[in-house]
């Protein structure tokens, strides 16, 4: 390898890897296509190997390029983290903070929480990464994360929020047209909204909850947001966080006693950031806001249980005392 390449070359390299073309990378980076080409040539010269080959499908990465990818990604995360840290002022809640959360939490739950945080700290700049992929807090891909799996790294500080419940829901209009299933067996006669491919998590849920067995989805999407939009549009019956249905009178709970999945929820950040005012304020705001979201959903769901429905089933809230289970709106069976 010759002289040490500059960070700009690695940034361009990552963009070409992601998009598969010089022109697309140039648009993303705000550079000209010839400049991107020169960056790739310079990096290839520095490492002494070809990084891409041309094909009808675009630029294909070589084996060496794929080997370099995780290291370049770490450089990118470190560079972004450095800039966020430098943007803050000592002792003040100011600068940039990056929060990672799943698509549904990021779009449906966090905006009002972050709006209150921004009102309280006007000098704070908030970046929100909405992705179901788990971003690496140890490599500073984000400063804080809302996770639906328990953080296992020892270097992380995590606060358990509790369980966010997921149930089966449908739009009121769909149920008026197609009827309300009274048993899990009757789900086979309904349009179902669900995932388009099996993941390790979904396979685990299928093993734990037999209701998944034999279900055929009429509408499939790899995005939880797309599935939620389909349910709201009346496409069929699908999975929805119970808290999202509390303020939507058109979303009706289906088979509440047959299906309910508790999603354990945590807020996490790297322990090195606990002394950062911007990260500490954001951490506290996320914890308070998500706890309020969970408690409101439970309280209002219990209040909305029809009297004729009988005594509701009970669920365990992640090591906390058992609470009576309810639904935002429970569809009548028959």
* CATH code for the domain of 47: 1.10.10.10
- Confidence band for 326, pLDDT divided at 50, 70 and 90: very low
The answer to whether residue 146 sits within a structural domain is yes
Same domain, 47 and 193: no
Domain ranges, residue 46: 7-83
In whole angstroms, what is the distance from residue 180 CA to residue 314 CA?
Answer: 23
* Mean pLDDT, all residues of the chain: 81
Same domain, 170 and 214: yes
The answer to whether residue 61 sits within a structural domain is yes
Look at the chain and count its residues.
Answer: 334
Same domain, 256 and 273: no
pLDDT tens for residues 12-37? 888 888 888 898 888 888 888 889 88
Model confidence at 311: pLDDT above 50: no
The answer to whether residue 2 sits within a structural domain is no
pLDDT tens for residues 234-253? 999 999 999 998 889 899 99
pLDDT tens for residues 172-219? 999 999 999 999 889 989 999 988 876 656 666 667 766 666 678 999
Same domain, 155 and 217: no
Same domain, 218 and 283: no
Same domain, 52 and 30: yes
Read off φ and ψ for residue 260, nearest 5 degrees: -160, 120
Number of domains in the chain: 3
In whole angstroms, what is the distance from residue 100 CA to residue 103 CA?
Answer: 9
pLDDT at res. 82:
67
Decide if 262 contacts 164 (C-beta within 8 A): yes
User: Strand, coil or helix: what is 71?
Assistant: helix
Same domain, 150 and 272: yes
pLDDT at res. 65:
87
Distances (CA, A) of 159 to 29, 96, 283, 292: 37, 22, 9, 14
Among candidate residues 39, 57, 83, the one where a domain is terminated: 83
Same domain, 39 and 143: no
The answer to whether residue 33 sits within a structural domain is yes
Question: Span 302-318, mean pLDDT?
Answer: 40
pLDDT tens for residues 103-148? 999 999 999 999 999 999 999 999 999 988 776 666 668 899 999 8
Residue with tokens 């950031």: 273
Same domain, 148 and 269: yes
Same domain, 167 and 233: yes
In whole angstroms, what is the distance from residue 310 CA to residue 332 CA?
Answer: 12
The answer to whether residue 237 sits within a structural domain is yes
Same domain, 105 and 229: no
């Amino acid at each position: 390898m010759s002289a040490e390449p500059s960070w700009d070359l690695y940034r361009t390299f990552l963009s070409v890897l992601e998009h598969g073309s010089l022109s697309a990378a140039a648009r993303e980076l705000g550079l000209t296509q010839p400049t991107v080409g020169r960056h790739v040539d310079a990096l290839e010269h520095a490492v002494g190997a070809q990084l891409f080959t041309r094909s009808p499908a675009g630029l294909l990465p070589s084996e060496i390029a794929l080997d370099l990818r995780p290291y370049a990604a770490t450089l990118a995360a470190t560079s972004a983290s450095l800039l966020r840290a430098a943007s803050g002022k000592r002792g003040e809640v100011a600068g940039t903070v990056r929060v990672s959360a799943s698509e549904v939490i990021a779009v449906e739950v966090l905006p009002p929480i972050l709006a209150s945080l921004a009102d309280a700290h006007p000098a704070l700049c908030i970046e929100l990464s909405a992705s179901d992929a788990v971003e690496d807090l140890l490599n500073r891909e984000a400063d804080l994360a809302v996770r639906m799996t328990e953080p296992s790294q020892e270097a992380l500080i995590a606060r358990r929020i509790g369980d966010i419940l997921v149930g089966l829901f449908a739009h009121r209009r769909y149920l008026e047209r197609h009827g309300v299933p009274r048993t899990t067996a009757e789900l086979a006669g309904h349009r179902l909204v669900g995932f388009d491919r099996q993941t390790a998590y979904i396979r685990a849920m299928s093993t734990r909850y037999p209701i998944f067995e034999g279900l055929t989805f009429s509408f499939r999407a790899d995005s939880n947001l797309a599935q939620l939009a389909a349910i709201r549009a009346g496409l069929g019956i699908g999975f929805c966080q119970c808290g999202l249905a509390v303020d939507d009178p058109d979303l009706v709970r289906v088979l509440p006693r047959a299906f309910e999945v508790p999603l354990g929820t945590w807020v996490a950040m790297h322990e090195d950031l606990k002394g950062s005012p911007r990260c500490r304020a954001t951490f506290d705001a996320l914890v308070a806001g998500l706890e309020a979201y969970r408690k409101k959903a439970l309280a209002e769901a219990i209040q909305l249980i029809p009297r004729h429905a009988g005594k509701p089933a009970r669920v365990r809230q992640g090591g906390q005392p058992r609470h009576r289970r309810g639904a935002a709106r429970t569809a009548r069976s028959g």
